[in-house]
Structure 1
Amino acid sequence: MAFIDYYKILDIDKSASNADIKKAYRKLARKYHPDLNPNDKEAEVKFKQINEANEVLSNAENRKKYDAYGENWKHGEAYEQQSQHQRASRQRQHSQSSQFDGFGDGDYSDFFESMFGGGFSNRRSSTQFRGQDFNATLQLNLKDVFTSQKQVLTVNGNNIRLTIPAGVTNGQIIKIKGKGGEGINGGPNGDLLIQFDIINDTEFRRDGEHLYKTIDLDLYKAVLGGDLTVNTFDGKVKLNIKPLTQSGSQVKLKGKGFPIYKKDRAFGDLFITYNVKLPTKLSDKEKELFEELAKL
């Protein structure tokens, strides 16, 4: 696969800060998102490259390896470990060779091969290394995580199917074992770490499994009471407003909040705060009635 310049993909400099990377990723991810570019293969490829670039550059360790090793960044740690191992082996050989001054170069090699059955190079090449962990950011709307759903995530050109449980939170990271980089010399694969970026474009404020909402009450409803139909996250409910309801008072709708992560059919609560709105205009009759009330 051809080398991809992740900095160029995100249109940022190598000196870009983490905030710059996040800002660039969000801007481009929204621009090329498949939902906004249906049947656009070029946009789909671009979207995959943007996600791949963000996976690497948003992780401090991976970015450091990418800057140091370029297209071979995934195996940078393994190369470094191998290099350290080779340096240590050469130092040991140099130290041991001083004890066998009677051997020539050929004798020296034969001697150690007879001791270790095939030489040092074969032993080093069989060392196993665990594959690199991959990091991915998945951007979803709050409505998307109200119910469990299946997604196909493209990481380094591979399609990974996963089920996202309802109730995941913004910034939460889940691990998919063995879906990271391939191990070296038969070592285990790394893991895939997915961080969720939840966008709340609703009228509700979320705090864990609880939801919060403010609704306006006209003065007459607040004073006299009555019924009011309001929207919850998954439908409408009818509230009974008590007479003389004060602005800022709050009611709790049990079980009308957000799903609790990995707890089947368990929900938080919805808290509704009333905001009493005063009339901005009064008819002559209304003014007259208020004046009579004031005298009482």
Structure 2
Amino acid sequence: MEYKDYYKILEVDKKASKEEIKKQYKKLARKYHPDVNPGNKEAEEKFKAINEAHEVLSDDEKRQKYDSLGADWQRYQQTGGRTGGFDWAQYAQDANAGGGRYTYQTEEEGSDFSDFFSSIFGSMGGGGRRSSMRSKGQDYSAELTVFMEEAFHGVKKTFTLHDKSLRINIKPGVEDGQVIRLKGNGGPGRNGAEPGDLYITLRVPADPRFTRQGNDIYIDAQVPVYRAALGGDFFVDTLDGQLKLKIKPETKNGTLLRLKGKGFPVYNQPGQFGDLYVKVVLQLPEALTDKEKELFQQLAQLRNDK
């Protein structure tokens, strides 16, 4: 029977911690999962070996027993296959021996655990039946478009993924590229294990009217030149409806007005907002009437007199 080097299969050192083993297992399992490699028999076998290695090395009792076997197996090989002090019987136990320390489900030949594993941690006996393993389902990923106004107010979205209809509640303040996790909405688990998760990357396209920088919003306000010169009230469109601004007399072109707390809502922090910055862009009058031209000429003469 061929010895399986579980440390080599998981690509970890023999002194690796349980956390290191868990992290490496997740990395390799995601890479070789059958759902990611449909029809790839080599990847499927690799996936089975990775899960088997994790089953052993993540369990303190199994790992200790396996490590002891490793030393004995090495002596066995050095003797050219003769006994050489190697007692295989102490390892080839039934799973229910010793008070039923290990309990496994079984399924027909072709399931996930190897004969090597079964010989050490429990012979299921007859018909080539092997131990069956549990593994969490594959994580899925998807992208979802959320427009600027939806990101500002929050929105409920319904979409279909893998023939499954999902409804997601998006809170106000989400950003482009933000990832939301929907637990249990990934691929099905194996042999009763929990399903994977769904990770949704939100895409918030740019809006021609507004520029967002963090939680602050920048907009341009086309202010008539006479309003900027004389001052007065001016209404500007925002993501939260029209807002009245007080324009001071002689406001210059390019002036940036800051409205505190009128920007984007801060994600997951109700009642907190960024700021709104309004840039004054002077708007010259067009299609002047004769009377308007006359008045502008009078103004020009007055200014020249000064």
Pairwise same-fold verdict (TM > 0.5): yes
Cα offset, 1:263, TM superposition: 1.6
Whose RCO is larger (CA < 8 A, sep 6+)?
A: 1
Q: Does 1:83 align with 2:37?
A: no
Cα offset, 1:218, TM superposition: 2.5
Report the Cα distance in structure 2 between the residues aligned to 1:169 and 1:141, rounded to whole angstroms: 10
Contact 1:182/1:190 (8 A) holds in 2: yes
Contact 2:34/2:43 (8 A) holds in 1: no
Letter in 2 for 1:70: P
Report the Cα distance in structure 1 between the residues aligned to 2:261 and 2:73, rounded to whole angstroms: 72
Contact 1:233/1:256 (8 A) holds in 2: no
Residue in 1 that maps onto 2:242? 236
Residue in 1 that maps onto 2:167? 161
The aligned runs of 1:111-190 (5 Å cut-off) are: 115-117=93-95, 120=116, 125-190=131-196
Residue in 1 that maps onto 2:19? none
Contact 1:142/1:202 (8 A) holds in 2: no
Letter in 2 for 1:188: E
Cα offset, 1:170, TM superposition: 0.5
Q: Does 1:69 align with 2:37?
A: yes
In structure 2, relative to structure 1, the CA distance for the partners of 1:186 and 1:112 (3 Å cut) is farther
Pair member with larger Rg: 2
Q: Secondary structure at the match of 1:82?
A: helix
Residue in 2 that maps onto 1:214? 220
Residues 172-213 of structure 1: CA deviation (Å, up to 9, x unaligned):
001122221222233332211110011233511112221110
Report the Cα distance in structure 2 between the residues aligned to 1:189 and 1:67, rounded to whole angstroms: 13
Cα offset, 1:276, TM superposition: 2.1
Residue in 2 that maps onto 1:269? 275
In the alignment, structure 2 segments of 5+ residues that lack a partner are 1-28, 57-65, 97-114, 123-129
Aligned-residue identity in percent: 31
Residues 248-287 of structure 1: CA deviation (Å, up to 9, x unaligned):
1111222222221112232222110111244566714422
Count matched residues: 225
Cα offset, 1:236, TM superposition: 1.3
Q: Secondary structure at the match of 2:153?
A: coil
Cα offset, 1:243, TM superposition: 0.8
In the alignment, structure 1 segments of 5+ residues that lack a partner are 1-60, 102-107
Q: Secondary structure at the match of 2:176?
A: coil
Cα offset, 1:293, TM superposition: 1.3
Question: When the two structures are superposed, what TM-score results if normalisation uses the length of structure 1?
Answer: 0.62
Question: When the two structures are superposed, what TM-score results if normalisation uses the length of structure 2?
Answer: 0.61
Report the Cα distance in structure 2 between the residues aligned to 1:153 and 1:257, rounded to whole angstroms: 29
Letter in 2 for 1:221: R
In structure 2, relative to structure 1, the CA distance for the partners of 1:68 and 1:265 (3 Å cut) is closer
Residue in 2 that maps onto 1:286? 296
In structure 2, relative to structure 1, the CA distance for the partners of 1:81 and 1:70 (3 Å cut) is closer
In structure 2, relative to structure 1, the CA distance for the partners of 1:71 and 1:256 (3 Å cut) is farther
- Name the one with the larger helix percent: 1
Spell out structure 1 runs of 4+ moving beyond 6 A.
61-68, 85-89, 91-95
Q: Secondary structure at the match of 1:70?
A: coil
Q: Secondary structure at the match of 1:272?
A: strand
Report the Cα distance in structure 1 between the residues aligned to 2:37 and 2:251, rounded to whole angstroms: 66
In structure 2, relative to structure 1, the CA distance for the partners of 1:173 and 1:114 (3 Å cut) is closer
Residue in 2 that maps onto 1:21? none
Q: Does 1:205 align with 2:201?
A: no
The aligned runs of 1:6-85 (5 Å cut-off) are: 69-70=37-38, 79-83=45-49
